[in-house]
Amino acid sequence: MPKLGMEPIRRKALVDAALKTIGHHGSLSVTMSDIAREAGVSPALAHHYFGSKDQLLLETIRSVLRQLHADAVAALRAAETPRGRVSAVVRVSFQADQFAPAVVAAWLAFFSEAQRSEEVRRLLALYARRLHSNLLSGLNRLSPPSDAARIAEGAAALIDGLYIRQSLKAAPLSIEASVALVEDYVTAQLLQTAARRPPVSGDPT
């Protein structure tokens, strides 16, 4: 009989093992035995907790998204200015545990699987909406709504693109370089938007 309180510990160990195994394989074509071996448990126990490999893989994606969401919420609460909110979202996107090679490879596998799985596609669409909304929470106070939405889309596309580039391992960028690239884009876009604004009535300039 399993020890009382072991279920959440083993479930988390299996989710962590699934993320690591997917990252090492570079695809979702891993077996329950592969994941169980990484977690140090039997395949039967893995099936007991999750029922099937598909359910375990979906829970793995949900786990990554929950952690990313929690980190983003905490970072936004700590930000003191609208521009600081944008920077907080950018930095959370490239924090060490999310930008680790195995996790980056797993993200790429998730996006690939979204072409075949409606549930995976739904989860990644939720990620995209959250990223866009979090960026807008700062950008909407810095530029008109249409410009804010455009800049948010561009920043999100850069973030996703840098993950893809990182997964190729041909010319990987550091966390700081990745953050700086997105920050430079946002700053340049905000300056261009400000330059296009009509002068305020009574402004001597």
Stated pTM of the model: 0.86
Which of these, 151, 30, 66, 165, lies nearest to 108 by C-alpha position? 165
Q: CB 84: neighbour CB atoms within 10 A?
A: 14
**Cα separation of 100 and 116, whole Å?**
25
pLDDT one-digit tens code per residue, 94-116: 998 888 888 888 888 899 889 99
CA atoms within 13 A on the CB side of 122: 5
Q: Which letter, b or e, does each residue of 163-188 get, where b requires 16 or more Cβ atoms within 10 Å of its Cβ?
A: beebbeeeeeeeeeebbebbbebbee
Q: Which of 16-30, 73-87, 129-143 has the lowest mean pLDDT?
A: 16-30
pLDDT one-digit tens code per residue, 150-168: 999 999 999 999 988 887 7
